[in-house]
Amino acid sequence: MATISAARKAAFAILMGVERGQSHSDDLLRGKAVNGLSAPDRNLATALVLGVLRNQIRLDHDLQSLLKRPNGKLDAEIRISLRLGAFQLLHMDRIPDRAAIDESVELAKQAGHNFASKMVNAVLRKLAGTLQAAERGRIDSAVHVPGATSSHAPQLSSPAAFLALWGERPEESVAEVALAESHPAWMVERWAGFYGFEAARQICRHGQTQPALAIRFANPAIEAELEAVGIQLAPGELLTAARTVVSGDVAATAAFKEGRVRLQDEGSQLVGEIAGQGSKAGTSAILDCCAAPGGKTLILAERNPEARILACESSPPRLAQLQSRLAAYADRVECRLADTTTLTEGAAFDVVLADVPCSGTGTLGRNPEIRYRLSVEDLPRQAERQRAILAAALRCVRPGGRVVYSTCSLEPEENEQVVASVLAENAKARLVSLESCIGDLESRGILASNAAARLKATLTAEGTLRLLPGAFRTDGFYIALIEKSA
């Protein structure tokens, strides 16, 4: 039996888990199976998983033209084997074709598909040959080799020619963007309609890249500790408390393992900072409606050292993680297993953060499989839950207090429409422009240089903040500030 590298075995298992809907790639990539790999194998497994998921639509399209029965249904194990092999051939120059093909074939065999593994072998060898022919054709064309014939160049129907065509000109239609950037066409059509064609293209391209790794730590001395063990850091783009990891494995450091440094997207940190500003009349009680995993709750606690905080979470496993993460603040942060919509505290809080569960379309670079699991029909269901949470948040905030509503979604149904719907039913609540809040954050030294002007430029006509992926080194976020009158 041929051997399969530990990295490819792990990548195959994770992709199968994602395909079957068992878990999210982010969770699986942080699991024991991956953590037990050597650093090179861990990096390769991560690159394979995320690369296949980010490029799945394009990979399937290119592979389909090489199948004898293009419309035939393939077993999941065969689909994953083909995608893994094709991704390595098309996108990983340092991996020999032979390794990419042979180990993909072996993965299919060991998954119980001995006969179909021959098809995997034939398809991937055909793809490799077509790519080699395409490369010869490009070289011949570039150097004008005397006597070069059209037989050296791939036919227009070949995947390689298709790839070359896409690589040599910008996409000119929504359909071209959707295929080139491996996003569902319905998503791209919506974004182009909401934000314009060029913004939609940038959103998609951001979804195909590895997100910037942002970190945060409460003690400034930790920065020197990280740099001493080879972690190269750069200043945050938006926040003075944030750092961007340029190189090095933060997760392997003692500071990370001991919880003294945390990974948190700068957009997520900004939500916490806006909520942490408190209410105009002062802040003594804060409610975090959907607190896990706790990064924003920590910012609330850090920025409001005298406040009592209630952090709610409706999932027992996530509550346990939340309690562990907030253990240092247990004297003034209560972690409660609770659905915020059922709270009976009444108008007891000065500030409420409603960072609600959402579709997550602003996080496709970090969570690429969302694009395959989500349908447009899911959005009204999400919005119904979001409206219930925001309405509960307004019930829980006292007169004169403020509610921060946020999502990591790009969809109006989960953002503007939720806010407008809830405000229409609550005469004592009004939307407040975030412009003055951004100014306050700047004056307090919380925002990085020039960040205030750039953030103000992203404000909507209603004064809400919309961070589109690609505009900053962040995931996509929507943030609204609501004030409850007396």
300 and 357, same domain (yes or no): yes
Residue 288 sits at the vertex; the CA angle it makes with 408 and 258, to the nearest 5 degrees, is 85
CATH number of the domain residue 218 falls in: 3.30.70
Q: Within its chain, how far is the Cα of 411 from the centroid?
A: 15
Contact between 121 and 113 (Cβ < 8 Å): no
Give the model confidence (pLDDT) of 141-184 as tens digits. Answer: 554 434 333 333 333 344 445 455 445 556 789 999 999 999 99
Quick check: is 1 in a domain? no
Alpha carbon distance 47, 32 (integer Å): 17
Give the model confidence (pLDDT) of 291-313 as tens digits. Answer: 999 999 999 999 999 999 999 99
Alpha carbon distance 61, 342 (integer Å): 47
CATH number of the domain residue 403 falls in: 3.40.50.150
Q: How far apart are the first and last CA of the chain?
A: 75
53 and 107, same domain (yes or no): yes
Please name which of 257, 273, 256 lies closest in space to residue 215, comparing C-alpha atoms: 256
| Token pair of 309 as six digits | 């905080």
Beta strands in 242-316 (DSSP E): 242-247, 262-263, 285-288, 308-313
Quick check: is 156 in a domain? yes
Quick check: is 446 in a domain? yes
Please name which of 194, 198, 208, 207 lies closest in space to residue 410, comparing C-alpha atoms: 194
Residue 373 sits at the vertex; the CA angle it makes with 180 and 406, to the nearest 5 degrees, is 95
Quick check: is 270 in a domain? no
Rg of the chain, C-alpha, whole Å: 25
Give the model confidence (pLDDT) of 347-360 as tens digits. Answer: 999 999 999 999 99
Q: Which amino acid is at 112?
A: G
Asked if pLDDT for residue 280 goes beyond 80, the answer is no
110 and 242, same domain (yes or no): no
pTM here? 0.91
444 and 384, same domain (yes or no): yes
107 and 242, same domain (yes or no): no
Highest mean pLDDT: which range of 22-31, 133-142, 145-154, 360-369: 360-369
Q: Tokens 């083909």, residue?
A: 82
Mean pLDDT value of segment 370-398: 97
Alpha carbon distance 358, 385 (integer Å): 9
150 and 66, same domain (yes or no): yes
| Per-residue DSSP letter, 291 | -
Band the pLDDT of 73: cuts 50, 70, 90: confident
305 and 430, same domain (yes or no): yes
> By CB neighbour count within 10 A (0-12 exposed, 13-18 middle, 19+ buried), where does 284 fall?
middle
Provide the residue range defining the domain that includes 318: 275-484
Give the model confidence (pLDDT) of 401-448 as tens digits. Answer: 999 999 999 999 999 999 999 999 999 999 999 999 999 999 999 999
Total number of domains constituting the chain? 4
130 and 231, same domain (yes or no): no
DSSP string, 216-242: E-SSTHHHHHHHHTT-EEEE-SSBTTE
Quick check: is 269 in a domain? no
Quick check: is 129 in a domain? yes
Beta carbons within 8 Å of 77's beta carbon, 6+ residues apart: 16, 107, 108, 111, 112, 113
Share of the chain above pLDDT 70, in %: 92
Contact between 349 and 399 (Cβ < 8 Å): no
321 and 338, same domain (yes or no): yes
Give the model confidence (pLDDT) of 26-67 as tens digits. Answer: 889 988 889 899 989 999 999 999 999 999 999 999 999 899
Give the model confidence (pLDDT) of 444-479 as tens digits. Answer: 999 999 999 999 999 999 999 999 999 999 999 999
326 and 465, same domain (yes or no): yes
